[in-house]
Structure 1
Amino acid sequence: MKSLTHCLVLITLLLIALSLDAAHADERYVLQYDAPAIDQSLAEQPRRAKGLGYIQTALPLGNGRLGAMFSGGIDTEHLLINDITLWMNAKRGLGEVEQSGTRKVAPEDLETVLQAYRDGKYGTKPGSMESLATKHLASVEPLGNYAPFSDVWISTGHESDEVQNYRRSLDSRTGLGTVTYEIGRGRFRREYFCSHPHDVVVVRYTAENATLNLNVKTTTKHPISEVKTDDGQIVLTGQANMARDNVDFMQFVYIDGGDADLSPRPDGSVDISDADEVTIYLAGYCDYLPDYPTFKGRDYQSDCESAITNAVEIGFESLAQKHIDDVAALMDRCRLELDFEPSGLTTDKLVANDSSRELENLYFNYSRYLQISCSRDAPVPSNLQGLWNDSLRPPWNCDYHTDINVEMNYWMVDPANLSESFRPFVKWTKILAESGAHTARQTFGVRNGWSVGLNGNIFGYTAQNVHGRRSQQAAHWLCQNLYDHYAFTQDQVYLEEIYPIIKGAAEFFVEFLRPYHDGTLVVYPTWSPENSYLVKQHGKLNKQAYGASWDQQLLLNLFTDCIEASTILNRDDAFRQQLKDIIPKLCPQKIGKHGQLQEWPEDWDNPKDTHRHISHLIALHPGRDISPLTTKELHQAALVTMKHRGDQSTGWSTGWKTCFWARLHNGEKAHQIYRFLTAKRAYPNLFDFHPPFQIDGNFGGTAGVCEMLLQSHLRSINADATTIEEAAFVAYRKQETNPDHFVPVVPSESIAEAPYILHLLPALPPAWSDGHIEGLRARGGFEVDVTWQNGTLASAKIHSPRGGSFRLYANGTLSKTIDLRAGQTIAWPLP
């Protein structure tokens, strides 16, 4: 018979848990379900819906490095564990040059490839641009793939048909997962979280009017593993197979069953008998360190033991409260509140019922939760699936695609007030710049700067893709993310840190650029991701090109950012002038025969082309150089392009289209696309439906919501102007000799001091007639709260944490320059 003291402690813990639920629950943040996730790894499972499985229905937890998903299974709980630094099938520990994966190319072979581009050798046959790029430039080294870590199985012996009042939920404001159900008079509760402060996954089972009889087992999909048990401890050690130098890892599970009996089994699992409460602590690490070229050296075993010892000593209640405080502090910075009446529907039914303001609000908040869960202070950024992967052969390697995906993962970080999440992107790009210097020299014969291709891993892979059809450069796009983060934070210590990376990217292109037929400078080899042209003549795989518009637009961004950064830091005058001299020589942007913005320097666009990539609108978003307010002709051409491409597409493309329409100031259209994303491109757990799962759509869609409500990418270079057309810096001007060509403009060094223009409600959807958002971030380092009623701006507050100047554009009126001191706030309507 249990002691009275033990019973009182249990009742107290249950009351605390219930009070935490009551204090922190908010329907705008909570995903909820009335059934467990689908788990195809179990012998007995619910009938599987088409395209649905564990990844699409389980609920995610994460601290930026360590991740978990929980199924809420009644008989068997399945926890998927991930470590974002665990990869396989690649190489590490090679020499400085070899580790980059680059291919050493003889100058004459490079010239053969370049001549094929100059001669327009289209298609895929021998002698074509593609075939020669494959033969001479493409890497032969393995990229590898992101790997799952382990699985934890917790068996209860409960029968599904005996269960009543089942509820599975995840509160994205607190990062707490819960499962509750009843069997007869017994009430059962589970709680789950992944702690960033203490770097552990924690699960607690409790029972009221019943006891718990559990079995805990841990496995891994990796072939080399060992499991040892000792009382309530399960230690799994393993290796992820690499093409060179396997990655070692360890997982430590500690089970606290109170007064219950714990018995190890021969299979390495542990039985827990006659318990009222069971707490499971889990830590896991591998030997990866971001040290080029070894990428090795973490004392993963010591880290596992220390994390578990510390967590057990602190205990569940304190760990949980510190976790809640940590997550809520980040989530509460930015709160979207659309006007809706809660439906009471489970999240899967919200998705199935098409979209609604309730789902749209939840999706926004949940995407912010996913961001902090898969990117905090780990040494590598979120990948194609963020942090969560259950396969040894994941789609697209679950790697880093630099032709939009890894960049899109970070579009919403600053606007949605989660700047800390950007740090892993910086760390990873530093490695790429170090490694990419070898690729620049060995493959392209470029002496200065760095280069990176289409695919990346965590081991410094910067080589060209193994298929010449996918030859590209990407440093300019990665650097756009880097510098935009400075625009939001105004952190000059950070600017000092990234300036060498940005300068190195610019240095590479200074040498890499080559004359086009008309003498202007273009990038090649290249493509316009991942589109084809002249399909009737050369087939649908005809993709390699020269001077693709996305490259040229990003180059102007890169050179302008480098000019601004060097001006702020007061260095590299000669290089700054060199960039200014090159900018007017870049190939112009062109409006084609259909009125569209051309995707290539030749007018190859097909108006029936609905390709998911719309890379030639990068200057619209995430760039800043096409705007309805400043570049009327380019704006109209972008509208034509958007009409050609259509509305429906994959998840990430739908997220990008939301951003495009917001930048085009069409709130109704932006909302239409966002509705499609949240209802037709969302799995039951709201993971983005590519298909299969890719997380970039979640982040791209949330970035689009931010763009609907606040834009801050335009700069005022004329303080006396009273209209945006007169005030704003314009990066393209119409060519005098050809009115359909728009040539790049050299920025004045005064751009470094030009205040940003904060545009309130630039694309407010008519369907969102009433609402409020607080904590949006604007470039220039400002925080903005906005309230609207009946589709009209009602009030706003602009707060300056560090001081700065801006101009406000609201209801069609441009304010004078407003100067705020550090900590000062100003309200709209302005006095």
Structure 2
Amino acid sequence: MIKPFISLLKKAFVLPILFTLVSANLLSSQSSNALWFDRPAEHFEETLVLGNGKAGASIFGGVATDSIYLNDATLWSGEPVDPNMSPEAYKNVPEIREALKNENYKLADSLQTKLQGSFSQSYMPLGTVYLNFEHKNQPTSYHRQLELEKALSTVTYNVDGITFTREYLISHDEQAMVIRLKSSKKGALNFNIGFNSLLKYEVTSNESTLEVSGYAPYHVEPSYRGKIPNPVQFDSNKGTRFTSLFKIQNTDGELESTDKSVALKNGTEAVVYISMATSFNGFDKNPATEGADHKTIAASQLSKASSKSFESILENHLKDHQKYFNRVHLDLGETTAKDLPTDERLKRYAKGEEDKNLEVLYFQYGRYLLISSSRTPNVPANLQGIWNPYIRPPWSSNYTLNINAEENYWLAENANLSEMHQPMLGFIENIAKTGKVTAKTFYGAGGWAACHNSDIWAMSNPVGDFGEGGINWANWNMGGTWLSSHLWEHYTFSQDLDFLQDKAYPLLKGAAEFCLEWLVEDKNGNLVTSPGTSPENKFITPDGYQGATLYGSTSDLAMIKECFQQTIAASETLKTDVEFRTRLKKALAKLYPYQVGKKGNLQEWYHDWEDLDPKHRHQSHLYGLYPGHHISPEKTPELADATRTTLNIKGDETTGWSKGWRINLWARLLDGNRAYKQYRELLRYVAPDGVRASYEKGGGTYPNLFDAHPPFQIDGNFGGAAAVVEMLVQSSMQEIQLLPALPDVWANGFVEGLKARGNFEIAITWSNKVPTKVKIHSATGGATVLKHGSKQKEVTLKPNETVEFDW
């Protein structure tokens, strides 16, 4: 964190307090920018991960054998979904509504099974590459690390007085992984490359290159379905194909090969080039019969990469990565934490010790992971980003649309990574196409809809295997409503009118059309959804029935309200669709209003009923507070108080992704200390899955800083990083709040590069929890109001203008 301050010193944008911060950091060598360990990884949750937005690698850094799990964002099981899988399912809706009208919730639950379709497909592991070394004795001085600013991982160690070094990166420009290996003694580098995969594959080799060709299953049953017959199904004529090439380029020594490996003997330095490609050719193209030419693509990538030196690739890689990563700098003040391996830092921190640079590291790691996993057009980061070693991964490593896929992108705009939002925005275009069929065939409505799960094939139907799924999760149908909010959010941050007109508005309108037609009147004339559920939760009726199907669930109506408001705003901005806008405004006024229950909580259900699990991990009915915008302490204090009561009833103990969400909720309630308490808990050390005896306690953080749901889900990383921004900057199209939820322990600090709505970029220096220096930049020009406490300042900027001032 020294470089940003040196840069700022040159710019003279520093108060005396920052000289204290710089001095403190100069004295403390523990990092806010790197993970490091003094031993190789034994478990996946200890690996250091790299990615270029498509190819992913999880590096163990072993001495005798270095195992590297490989992934490709486009390698999934399955093939294009048939959205018309149940063309007459909608005919069951009137009967379900009648059951609900008669308050027969058991019957409604039973009938809901008729509104279920197929399960999603699963994200696949490509395989494992092995670098096998000839070392006779045990290593000393072992060190492996990942530098976030460089997206570069290194391993160094000594054996018999010889220093061995490995450097790993995955280049976006070259679409290749590149590993440089060195020995300090001439001729001491001896290694071979092997490969293994859980998929079907064949290996061939020549003198310097290992070639792997294979294919993924055409069907994989979700892991949560347990031991069912034939859960992984292969067919040589079906499924996504893949090619992976491994080439050794040596400076000396001799290259050798066998049928299954390539090797270098008696070398001093070498570079390994790894190229991966699949036949995925779009969500609606059969990858076996209409697929991309994966072999040619892989060969072309390898040829391009191997024609360049490691130094040249590294130089271009750094320019590319740092263009995004270095936009944001954060310093949280003086720290006295010890210089320890990352896992030891987590354990120390879990005891309540101070480590401000670990808090910064976790935030920047979230940004690093998004850059590394979300750069493939129309293929967003999944439940595990792009890093998955399992053929039946947890929850299929898919897109879970009732929170998880959306949480992955909460930091995209405000943490200044708007480009990484694009894969999700493109994916929404895809799922809206299948979603039109889902809306019509499952719900008898226009527009488009998406439900609980999706996958690379843009599946939009409700899941459950046609009646086998739990109603409380399988039948939720507000996925499209929630996804559509990302379109408006991208516009509010980017101010890109062309995007709003050409891409966002038609999709927003389609999502709103579905909701408009799905709503029905209750007995008092209010508009409600029927049937509806609240994601994964259940209610208890006064007579003791534990059900999931009801009318007018709060989360449904909160998401619809946000969708209608955003679509109206988009229509007004574009000065279009006056008639449709008027219909939305009328429906908005008739929505069943929020209800405050007898405990002072925001009701989750239409009636003031008990939850089966009062501390449930989902808090979907609080959507209006976050990520929505229509509940706030300033504008709706009574509802904000009710959300606070709800959060207190739920308590703070929950899973990783849920903790990430709750931190954001507390930040929106302007309670920085409560948000910080949960941020610390999010960083609670969790042992790797191979070590843990059970998952009985809630989430935290694995040794490599992966979020522990548990097991690993990347959404907690992204949600936690987004929450740091919410503590420091909150915004609307009219105003920007500075340090709105700053915890007491972050009394002094500096942040640069955060984005605010209206396309503003913000830098703040603060002391004793009060801003002392503010810098604001506008790429597109505009006016806003900066606020902190009772003080505010109006600012109007021309395009590409920057102003800075003492606060």
Common fold: TM-score over 0.5: yes
How does 1:71-470 map onto structure 2 within 5 Å? 71-88=60-77, 90-92=78-80, 99-100=82-83, 102-105=85-88, 108-123=91-106, 128-134=107-113, 136-139=114-117, 141-158=118-135, 162-209=138-185, 211-222=188-199, 224-243=200-219, 245-266=238-259, 268-292=260-284, 294=286, 296-339=290-333, 340-341=335-336, 343-355=338-350, 356-446=355-445, 448-466=446-464, 467=469, 468-469=471-472, 470=474
Deviation, structure 1 residue 537: 4.7
Deviation, structure 1 residue 423: 0.6
d(CA) in 1 for partners of 2:364, 2:402:
26
Q: 2:229 aligns to what? A: none
Q: 2:523 aligns to what? A: 517
- Please say if residues 452 and 464 of structure 1, whose CA atoms lie closer than 8 Å, have aligned partners that are also in contact: yes
Structure 2 unmatched ranges of 5 or more = 1-25, 220-234, 686-699
- Please say if residues 35 and 166 of structure 1, whose CA atoms lie closer than 8 Å, have aligned partners that are also in contact: yes
d(CA) in 1 for partners of 2:84, 2:190:
52
d(CA) in 2 for partners of 1:362, 1:174:
14
- Please say if residues 183 and 268 of structure 2, whose CA atoms lie closer than 8 Å, have aligned partners that are also in contact: yes
Equivalent AA in structure 1 for residue 537 of structure 2: N
Q: 2:57 aligns to what? A: 68
- CA gap of 1:103–1:622, structure 2 versus 1, over 3 A, is same
Per-residue Cα deviation, 1:282-320 (whole angstroms, up to 9, x for no partner): 111111122525464322111111111010112211101
d(CA) in 1 for partners of 2:217, 2:739:
51
Q: Secondary structure at the match of 2:665?
A: helix
How does 1:461-500 map onto structure 2 within 5 Å? 461-466=459-464, 467=469, 468-469=471-472, 470-473=474-477, 474-496=479-501, 497-500=503-506
Deviation, structure 1 residue 629: 1.6
Equivalent AA in structure 2 for residue 263 of structure 1: E
Deviation, structure 1 residue 538: 4.9
Q: 1:4 aligns to what? A: none
Equivalent AA in structure 1 for residue 124 of structure 2: A
d(CA) in 2 for partners of 1:227, 1:607:
53
Deviation, structure 1 residue 560: 1.1
Q: 1:763 aligns to what? A: 741
Instruction: Tell whether 2:13 aligns with 1:34.
Output: no
- Please say if residues 102 and 438 of structure 1, whose CA atoms lie closer than 8 Å, have aligned partners that are also in contact: no
Q: Secondary structure at the match of 1:146?
A: coil
Q: 1:724 aligns to what? A: none
- Please say if residues 84 and 441 of structure 2, whose CA atoms lie closer than 8 Å, have aligned partners that are also in contact: no
Per-residue Cα deviation, 1:598-643 (whole angstroms, up to 9, x for no partner): 1111111459711111111111111111111221111111111111
d(CA) in 1 for partners of 2:611, 2:257:
66
Equivalent AA in structure 2 for residue 185 of structure 1: G
Equivalent AA in structure 2 for residue 695 of structure 1: I
Q: 1:707 aligns to what? A: 726
Q: 2:511 aligns to what? A: 505
Q: Count how many residue pairs are aligned between Structure 1 and Structure 2.
A: 733
Per-residue Cα deviation, 1:404-460 (whole angstroms, up to 9, x for no partner): 0000000011111001100100111111001110111111111x2111110101112
Per-residue Cα deviation, 1:211-246 (whole angstroms, up to 9, x for no partner): 111011122211x21111011111100011104831
d(CA) in 1 for partners of 2:343, 2:437:
49
d(CA) in 1 for partners of 2:541, 2:177:
51
- CA gap of 1:809–1:181, structure 2 versus 1, over 3 A, is same
- CA gap of 1:526–1:427, structure 2 versus 1, over 3 A, is same
Superposed CA RMSD in Å reads 1.8
- CA gap of 1:353–1:107, structure 2 versus 1, over 3 A, is closer
- Please say if residues 540 and 612 of structure 2, whose CA atoms lie closer than 8 Å, have aligned partners that are also in contact: no
Per-residue Cα deviation, 1:337-387 (whole angstroms, up to 9, x for no partner): 112245211100011112521211110111110010000233310111011
d(CA) in 2 for partners of 1:482, 1:130:
33
Q: 1:528 aligns to what? A: 534
Q: Percent identity?
A: 36
Equivalent AA in structure 2 for residue 646 of structure 1: G
d(CA) in 2 for partners of 1:465, 1:115:
23
- CA gap of 1:67–1:607, structure 2 versus 1, over 3 A, is closer
d(CA) in 1 for partners of 2:314, 2:85:
46
Deviation, structure 1 residue 824: 1.3
Deviation, structure 1 residue 768: 1.0
- Please say if residues 235 and 251 of structure 1, whose CA atoms lie closer than 8 Å, have aligned partners that are also in contact: yes
- TM-score, normalised via structure 2 length: 0.88
Q: Secondary structure at the match of 1:472?
A: coil
d(CA) in 2 for partners of 1:536, 1:700:
36
d(CA) in 1 for partners of 2:749, 2:684:
21
Equivalent AA in structure 2 for residue 91 of structure 1: E
- TM-score, normalised via structure 1 length: 0.86
- CA gap of 1:110–1:216, structure 2 versus 1, over 3 A, is same
Deviation, structure 1 residue 151: 0.9
Deviation, structure 1 residue 571: 1.8
Structure 1 unmatched ranges of 5 or more = 1-21, 39-52, 93-97, 714-754
Deviation, structure 1 residue 107: 5.4
d(CA) in 2 for partners of 1:585, 1:335:
45
Equivalent AA in structure 2 for residue 154 of structure 1: L
- CA gap of 1:692–1:218, structure 2 versus 1, over 3 A, is same
d(CA) in 1 for partners of 2:431, 2:84:
11
Q: Secondary structure at the match of 1:527?
A: coil
- Please say if residues 64 and 378 of structure 1, whose CA atoms lie closer than 8 Å, have aligned partners that are also in contact: no
Equivalent AA in structure 1 for residue 522 of structure 2: Y
Q: Secondary structure at the match of 1:450?
A: coil
d(CA) in 2 for partners of 1:71, 1:204:
16
Deviation, structure 1 residue 823: 1.3
d(CA) in 2 for partners of 1:674, 1:451:
34
How does 1:714-733 map onto structure 2 within 5 Å? none
Per-residue Cα deviation, 1:538-585 (whole angstroms, up to 9, x for no partner): 565x22222111111111111111111112222211111111111111
d(CA) in 1 for partners of 2:84, 2:218:
14
Q: Secondary structure at the match of 2:364?
A: helix
How does 1:769-808 map onto structure 2 within 5 Å? 769-808=747-786
- CA gap of 1:327–1:536, structure 2 versus 1, over 3 A, is farther
Task: Indicate which of 618, 624, 627 corresponds to 1:619.
Answer: 624
Which 4+ stretches in 1 moved above 6 angstroms?
none
Equivalent AA in structure 2 for residue 457 of structure 1: D
Equivalent AA in structure 1 for residue 265 of structure 2: S
Q: 2:709 aligns to what? A: 690
Per-residue Cα deviation, 1:242-274 (whole angstroms, up to 9, x for no partner): 0483111111111112222111123x1112100
Equivalent AA in structure 1 for residue 534 of structure 2: S
d(CA) in 2 for partners of 1:606, 1:577:
37
- Please say if residues 91 and 142 of structure 1, whose CA atoms lie closer than 8 Å, have aligned partners that are also in contact: no
Q: Secondary structure at the match of 1:788?
A: strand
